[in-house]
Amino acid sequence: MNFGVLALSFCKALLSTGNVLLVAVTALIGQSLSPDPTWVTLPVAFQFIGLMCATIPASLIMDKIGRKNGFYLGNALGIVGAILCIQALYSASFWLFCVGTFFLGIGIGFGTLYRFAAVEMCEKSYRAKAISIIMAGGVLAAIAGPNLAIFSQDLVEGTPFVGAFWGLLVLYIAAMLVLAIVEFPPRVIHAPDVVTRPVIDIILQPIFLVSVVAAMVSYVVMNLLMTATPLAMHHHGYHFNSSAFVIELHALGMFLPGFFTGDLIKRFGTIRILIIGAFIMLACIGINLNGQSELHFSVSLFLLGLGWNFMFVSATHLVTGAYSEAEKPKAQAANEFLIFSMVTFSALASGWLEATLGWHIMNLICIPVVLFAIAIVIYFDKKQAFNIA
């Protein structure tokens, strides 16, 4: 694998460390600052709203100014978000904290394109491996994120978790320094007469629809259960360190398979790995419904991450076959917007569902969602609607 992909993997690792850190602390911060119990995950929702708002502009901006400058811009906005969150915690302002997480979400939205940037650095036969390596960078995040959350919990006396956002600020600055040494392929400038399909025609292709549905379901279910887990564990009397450890296992499940998911896709096929990922998610839900011990939370959240990895990496690999080089900006923008708009709604719903319906009902709701994704994938695969390894 070339140096550029490895460097981007490290940048993604730094970004993901911030993401895992946010998962571990944001809902709990919302719980301490929120004026209403049903709003505790609103800061998380604002993060995903920012992410959703960035999806279309990020892809189009990078088409104009290049990948490197686009990633610089995303990191700069992430730095703004971290500074706002720090100020919000010092002033105990719930709404300023939401604004800060919104900017962090914009930065994360730009960062979701690391996996597509890695694809552009490789030959077609190595695309799945490149995507997998980018995801594998999150192993660092899986270890560093929760431990940074634990270490920073009481770092600043009287202001819990503010140290986490000082750490987040350092991570974004470090990512900008790493980006400086990455050489991206030259930006392709297409002739004015190059014919591209309308974006709706790209979206309506079976290969695009299946990839989006799979990625959407994997992210929505993962986000619903992951965001609510610290709250559910808190309600069952577990210490913050226990929930941080469970989030660490979850993040390992998300990113550790990145070292081999690409090889599995190459050996067994994209569709098979995608479906296996969906069944792993169902296994996670089954464990959640069976008990609320720390072991239950630990195993189920690890499986949730593993299922997400198989589904999301497979879906990303699948969608790269749905568009031409000239169609790339609008196709990737549509893909990211469709996925993360639904993820945003799940983040908005997570706190409300956990507070009003409870952990058990949340898990039951996720079952038909995963089954729907399996049915869609199998239906189009049986019709041979697409042909991809």
Dump pLDDT digits (tens) for 313-341: 999 889 988 888 888 888 988 998 898 88
Q: Give the pLDDT confidence score for residue 290 in this predicted structure.
A: 92
Banded pLDDT at 310 (limits 50, 70, 90): very high
* Cβ–Cβ under 8 Å, residues 285 and 224: no
For the chain, what is the mean pLDDT? 84
Give the residue, 22 or 219, on which the prediction is more confident. 219
Kindly report, residue by residue over 149-175, the tens digit of the pLDDT.
777 766 766 677 788 888 888 888 998
Q: Give the pLDDT confidence score for residue 389 in this predicted structure.
A: 43
How far apart are the C-alpha atoms of 273 and 242, rounded to whole Å?
31
Q: From residue 368, how far is each of 172, 281, 364, 365 by CA, in Å? A: 38, 12, 8, 7
Kindly report, residue by residue over 98-109, the tens digit of the pLDDT.
899 899 989 988
pTM of the predicted structure, to 2 decimals: 0.75
What is the arithmetic mean of pLDDT over 351-372?
87
Reply yes or no on whether the pLDDT at 19 is more than 90. no
Closest residue by Cα to residue 17 from 134, 99, 138: 138
Produce one character per residue of 38-59: b if its CB has 16 or more CB atoms within 10 Å, e if not: ebbbbbbbbbbbbbbbbbbbbb
Reply yes or no on whether the pLDDT at 311 is more than 90. yes
Give the residue, 133 or 304, on which the prediction is more confident. 304
Could you give all domains of the chain from N- to C-terminal order, each with its CATH number? 3-185+200-382 (1.20.1250.20)
Q: Tell me which of 89-103, 112-126, 184-198, 254-268 is least confident.
A: 184-198
What is the arithmetic mean of pLDDT over 81-97?
90
What is the arithmetic mean of pLDDT over 37-61?
82
Mean pLDDT highest for which of 131-140, 218-227, 350-359?
A: 218-227
Mean pLDDT highest for which of 11-20, 311-320, 347-356?
A: 311-320
Mean pLDDT highest for which of 23-37, 111-125, 316-330?
A: 316-330
Whether the CA torsion 142, 85, 344, 68 is positive or negative: it is negative
* % residues pLDDT > 90 (the chain): 27
* CB-CB neighbours of 192 under 10 Å: 5
* Alpha helices, H only, the chain: 3-33, 42-65, 67-91, 94-111, 114-119, 127-136, 138-152, 162-179, 199-203, 206-235, 240-255, 261-268, 270-290, 294-319, 328-356, 359-382
Q: What is the CA radius of gyration of the chain?
A: 20
Banded pLDDT at 364 (limits 50, 70, 90): very high
* Cβ–Cβ under 8 Å, residues 252 and 301: no
Give the residue, 356 or 376, on which the prediction is more confident. 376
Whether the CA torsion 29, 40, 141, 303 is positive or negative: it is positive
